[in-house]
Structure 1
Amino acid sequence: MSRDREKPCSLCAKSAPVLYRIQYDESGEWIFVCRECWNRVSQDNPFYVYGGTWKAHKR
């Protein structure tokens, strides 16, 4: 049984096998973002908090 799967990025909606759980604005809401969006919103952002990595392939 394969456990590979993908989820959409909360910002750009592209599906990805690895997403990053983050907070990036004053709302404090946790979202999952792809690497491209993560790079964009984490730079010089005082609201940025990393909360872990979601991976499609589970061990």
Structure 2
Amino acid sequence: MRHREKNCAHCQKLTEVCYRIQYDETQKWHLVCPSCQKQLKKESPLYRYGGTWKAKKRK
């Protein structure tokens, strides 16, 4: 199995789990790490959840 990671669009940290969210006026989707997702969910009235990306896929 290959090792997969993505950079958080907010803090640039490598992570194995990302959340697809919208949090600003642009309404663009961003992949963010769990800690940034938690922070942005509290701070942004425009927050919208759009799914979870995981490095290890279910079979």
Same fold (TM over 0.5): yes
Q: Which residue of 1 aligns with 2:26?
A: 27
Find the residue that maps to 1:11 and give its secondary structure.
coil
Tell me the CA shift for residue 45 of structure 1.
2.2
The two structures, once aligned, show a CA RMSD in angstroms of 1.1
Identity %: 52
Find the residue that maps to 2:51 and give its secondary structure.
strand
Aligned length: 58
Q: Which residue of 2 aligns with 1:57?
A: 56
Q: Which runs of 5+ in 2 are unaligned?
A: none
Q: Which runs of 5+ in 1 are unaligned?
A: none
**1:23-56 Cα shifts (integer Å, max 9, x gaps):** 0011101000001110111115221000000000
Separation (CA, whole Å) in 2 of partners of 1:25 and 1:50:
12
* Segments ≥4 residues shifted beyond 3 Å: none
Query: TM-score if structure 1 supplies the norm length?
Result: 0.90
